[in-house]
Structure 1
Amino acid sequence: MNKGAARQHRDPPLARISGAQLDGLLSALSVEFVRLTECLVSPGWRLNLGGTPAPGIHYNLSGHGRMVLEGHPAIELLPHTLVITPPNQYFHIEVPPDGPESGISNEVEGRWKPFPPGAIRRFVAGDHAPQLMLICGYFEASYGTSVNLFSTLTAPIVEQFDSARHIDHTLRLALQELIDQEVGTGAMTATLLKVVLIALLRRSLTSIDLWVERFSLMGDANIARAFSHMAARPGAQHSVDALARTACLSRSSFMARFTEVVGLPPMTVLRRLRMRQAASMLITCELSVDHIARTVGYTSRSSFLKAFHDAYGTLPSDYRAQGRTKMTSKTENEDHPE
């Protein structure tokens, strides 16, 4: 298989935060819980959650299942999986039934449910012993005085931890604090949440997943604004002049600062963002190559084909075929393990 095609969805981040920058970010990080609950789901059941105007934090204590966010691929939940969901995102958590031929037949609506003071904050989906146990919450995390760290998040952050990090114990303590409502509850829960977020942000030093890019730019709000503008809509007709205006900088200052912070010129980054979106669409969508080319900002088919080949070492049609063959082979191996 072509090496480019073998990198499906594992392109390295375009920018990464340094250890010194991360220390600075953590020292200026302010956090607080909006809500925190325990979620229990039995086989054959689904728990509907989300829609809260704050990012969500979801940690799987035990069991196996999946989380499905509207508009995103399903996330496999293993013990110690941590998921950060975007604000206003609807999603559900479910556990497949024990029988291979039956589907999800029951669901519990957990959106907007209030909990009175002192009540055990718990959602239960199922009438048997739960197979999946999570702690789910919503929070605010701000950098400095004005930058909300996750307010512009548009896709989930997923990281796999282990028991050595004690994140499960930390979140259980936070949940108990919210139930007890003793003096200092706000300060205590904020401290516990910060411990969890520090564990996540430390991953940004080594993780190859794309969420780490947003933290690499925290030291320069102007460049972060322009980068986020490109990343949110890579197919738009961006130009250096327009991006400089978005960053509130002169053209020359923008070019110099962007290249210094990110390590690449803005148009090079834009091309990589476009190729990344195109690669994802080739695997997940049935759209034609020409349609995908237009969606990611190319009016010329030949220019798109050349840019894609330069990025992945193969043509889009071959990338799609090889990627789907790989996915089919993986599914068959999971269905028929040796």
Structure 2
Amino acid sequence: MANVSTSAPDQPLVRPSTAELNRLLATLEVKVVRLTECLVSRGWRLEVTGPDAPGIHYNLVGEGWLVFENQAPIALRPHTLIIVPPNLDFALEVNGPGALGPNVRVENRRRVVSPADNFGRREAGEPPPELILICGYFQAIYGASIDLFMGLTTPIVEQFDAADRLDDALRKALDELLAQEIGDGAMAAALLKQVMVMLLRRSLASNETWVERFSILSDPQVARAFADMVERPGAAHTVQSLARSAGLSRSVFMERFRHVFSKTPMAALRDLRMRRAARELVAGQASLDQIAYDAGYRDRTGFLRAFRKVYGCAPAEFRAAVDKGDLFVGV
């Protein structure tokens, strides 16, 4: 699928440095929302409604098409990886796009899923299938709400090969979730994060302009300051100190940061601090005052106010929800 660049052809893409990306990737948190194996036979279509989360689709076996209503179809061959924006419906077909006719609708004739109804298998047609994908939905965030794929409106397509072994990571993640053993969510998230890291590694060596659609890659100067925030959320950051880190004036930094992250630097910093606090709460080895201090707060009242604003509850309620399994803190 061709991607259209908005940059002038004589302007090379400028990316964050490897050191800055290492700092960002170290703190990227991933949560698996849903993961299924999708199987399609020739002459059938598997229609999928996209939820409010980015999708990841990796083709394991066969050749076919991922078809959208208002966008160009994407050709599938083994080891094609596609990141699909949230709320984007699509269909999987073995035949060429439209070959089944405009009025054909395929239901999932057989579906085997876990009790949670989020992990398992969806089939369209009779075996043996000619097209097999692992399809999932996920969150890849910094802090409490800064999404790696925020602003993504068109799919990202990248062709890997067998030596990259992305299929191993995704199969193991699905197996973990189906087994429903202790720590299955954490294991699946760690495996999916491997796939995200592989995709970002590929972006550093790619001449394709889709890399500009990663919020952390679209503005290297802002990314430099954000990497400082991510690495040291409890430090005494100010808008002025962050602007200096980015090499920009205060007003330009504020404007460009908001353009990339859709929030102010201080709001993003609060999210990062609260995410750190949430992880320390779950670990259960520090006092509330120590957690507040580590997050950059010198008094408990300000910390409690910020925590409730981000998570909608007090720290004790948050920890109880995690202990019950109602909340999941990613890796």
Q: Show the counterpart of 1:199.
A: 198
Structure-1 residue corresponding to 2:46: 47
Cα pair distance change 1:255/1:151, threshold 3 Å: closer
2:168 is the counterpart of 1:164:
no
- 8 Å contact kept, 2:35–2:174: yes
The match for 2:100 among 97, 100, 103 is: 103
| Contact 1:44 1:95 (8 Å CA) reproduced | yes
Which residue identity does 1:183 align to in structure 2? I
One-letter code aligned to 1:199: M
- The change in CA–CA distance for 1:70 and 1:219 in structure 2 (over 3 A counts) is farther
SS of the equivalent of 2:106 reads strand
Aligned partner of 1:117: which letter? Answer: P
Q: CA deviation at 1:118?
A: 7.5
One-letter amino acid matched to 1:45: W
Deviation of 1:115 (Å): 3.8
Q: Kindly tell me: are residues 102 and 60 of structure 1, through their superposed partners in 2, closer, same or farther at Cα, counting changes over 3 Å? A: closer
Alpha-carbon distance in structure 2 between the residues aligned to 1:106 and 1:124:
16
Q: What amino acid is aligned across from residue 100 of structure 2 in structure 1?
A: G
CA deviation profile, 1:148-204 (whole Å, cap 9, x unmatched): 111321110100000011111111111111111001111100110001111001112
- Aligned residue pairs, count: 226
Q: In the alignment, does 2:122 pair up with 1:123?
A: yes
Q: Provide the secondary structure at the position in 2 that maps to 1:220.
A: helix
- Distance of 1:167 and 1:60 partners within structure 2: 10
Note the 1:203-214 alignment, pairs <5 A.
203-213=202-212, 214=214
SS class of match (2:182): coil
Partners of 2:3 and 2:209 within 8 A in 1: no
Asked if 1:179 corresponds to 2:178, the answer is yes
The one-letter amino acid of 2:68's match is L
Deviation at 1:107, TM superposition (A): 4.0
> What is the RMSD of the two structures over their aligned residues, measured on CA atoms?
3.6
CA distance in 2, matches of 1:134, 1:70: 20
Task: State the one-letter code of the partner of 2:62.
Answer: G
Structure 1 residues 81 and 54 mapped into 2: Cα distance closer, same or farther (>3 Å)?
A: same
Letter in 2 for 1:69: F
**Residue deviations 1:37-57, cap 9 Å, x none?**
000111111111132000000
Distance 1:81 1:174 in 2: 18
Q: Which residue of 1 aligns with 2:140?
A: 141
Residue type at the aligned position of 1:151: M
Structure 2: state its 5+ residue gaps. Answer: 227-242, 257-331
Offset of residue 103 of structure 1: 3.3
Aligned to 2:69: 70
Q: 1:8 to 1:192 in 2, by over 3 A?
A: closer
The 1:61/1:8 distance shift into structure 2, 3 A limit, reads: closer
Instruction: Provide Cα deviations, 1:100-140, integer angstroms capped at 9, x if missing partner.
Output: x9635854346xx8944277711111114211100000000
Partners of 2:68 and 2:90 within 8 A in 1: yes
TM-score, with structure 2 as normaliser: 0.60
* Gap runs ≥5 in structure 1: 1-6, 225-246, 260-338
- Paired with 1:114 and 1:128, the residues of 2 have a C-alpha distance of 14
User: Shift of the alpha carbon at 1:18?
Assistant: 2.2
User: 2: CA distance between counterparts of 1:180 and 1:219?
Assistant: 44
Relative to structure 1, is the Cα distance of residues 180 and 21 closer, same or farther in structure 2, using a 3 angstrom cutoff?
A: same
> Offset at 1:141?
0.5
Matched ranges for 1:282-321 at <5 A: none
Alpha-carbon offset, residue 222 of structure 1:
11
Quote the Cα distance in structure 2 between the aligned partners of 1:37 and 1:138.
9
CA-CA distance at 1:145 after TM superposition: 3.9
> Where does residue 220 of structure 1 map in the other structure?
222
The aligned counterpart of 1:308 is none
Amino acid at match of 1:166: R
Contact 2:48–2:91 (CA under 8 A) maintained in structure 1: yes
Structure 1 residue identity aligned to 2:141: S
Structure 1's 32 and 45: CA in aligned 2 closer, same or farther, altered over 3 A?
A: same
Partner of 2:22: 23
**Inter-partner Cα distance in structure 1 for 2:37 and 2:207:** 30
CA distance in 2, matches of 1:29, 1:218: 17
Contact 1:49 1:109 in 2 (8 A): no
